[in-house]
Amino acid sequence: MTPLVFLHGVGGGQAAWDDQRAFFAARGYGTHAWDQPGYGDAPAVEPYDLERIAAALRATIEREAGRPAVLVGHSMGGFVAQETYARHPEWVRALVLCFTSAAFGGSGSDFARQFIAARIGPLDAGQRMADIAAALMPSMRGAGSNPDGLARAERLMGRVPPETYRKAVALLTTFDRRALLPEIRVPTLLIAGGDDKTAPASVMQRMVARIPGAEFVMLEGCGHLGPMDQPEAFNAALLEFLQRHSL
């Protein structure tokens, strides 16, 4: 079986994937959920850019899996998965891009500046990460969300070091791999949430149309928290993809 490497979002950490690691390990898969540099016990990288984040992931795959892996990326983790495929395709056996997009919109755009101000402004005003998480995470849920998943997402975001959060938010605005999509040559699954307003299903459907042979699953009533929001449905969609491609 192909090893699975799970990549968390900007407000997450490796524990965001606890439900997936237990589920797939019980079915014989090797699983690894990383902490992106600066999260958990993972040392930060400088400068905090996509090239160095992708290099850190490549080293993690080599160390933890020893062979090409399936990258399962949620939100920011989907950015990292695409960037790593672009720079180190020999280490990627398949891509599972979840609740994400192919580009942010440009670091110099008005949208990017407004996004950074909205996410970082509360820190500048003296709020704690726990305060920001309590205000932000409920807006990320869907109509069919698991309440335990929302509570876990809040706890995880509350533990993210403020310095890392600042760098990661800025990192998001630099991502643009739209030109890569037609060049992807590995099995690719995109999973969207019907209630996700951060990475709407319509955006992900446009990605699917540009990736050769890509597959698409939409989880009804699911918000942006994805694997924590509807873990059973998410796991079922991922397992079906893996089995269909003999991964």
Lowest-confidence segment of 137-141, 190-194, 212-216 by average pLDDT = 137-141
186-195 mean pLDDT? 98
Residue 90's CATH number: 3.40.50.1820
Q: What is the pLDDT of residue 72?
A: 98
Helix (H, G, I), strand (E, B) or coil at 87: helix
Please tell me the total count of domains within the chain: 1
Residue 109 has pLDDT above 80, yes or no: no
pLDDT at 96 over 70: yes
- Mean pLDDT, all residues of the chain: 95
Residues of the chain above pLDDT 70, percent: 98
Distance from C-alpha of 178 to C-alpha of 241, rounded to nearest angstrom:
23
* Domain span holding position 228: 4-244
Q: What is the four-CA torsion angle of 235, 104, 140, 212, rounded to 10 degrees? A: -30
Question: Between helices 110-124 and 129-136, what is the axis angle to 10°?
Answer: 130
How far apart CA 155 and CA 137 sit, in angstroms, is: 10
The answer for residues whose C-beta is within 8 angstroms of residue 80's C-beta and 6 or more apart is 7, 36, 50, 53, 54, 57, 73
Residue whose structure tokens are 């928290």: 225
Q: If we measure between CA atoms, which residue out of 128, 116, 126 comes closest to residue 154?
A: 128
Who wins on pLDDT, 113 or 129?
129
Q: Please compute Rg for the chain using Cα positions.
A: 17
Give per-residue pLDDT as tens, 38-53: 999 999 999 999 999 9
Sheet holding 188-193, edge to edge: 31-33, 4-7, 69-74, 92-98, 188-193, 215-219
**Cα dihedral 231, 80, 27, 21 in deg (nearest 10):** -60
Report pLDDT for 111. 72
What pTM does this model have?
0.96
Instruction: Give CA–CA dist 176/186, Å, rounded.
Output: 19
Residues sharing a CB contact under 8 Å with residue 49, sequence separation 6 or more, in sequence order: 171, 174
Confidence of residue 192 (pLDDT cuts 50, 70, 90): very high
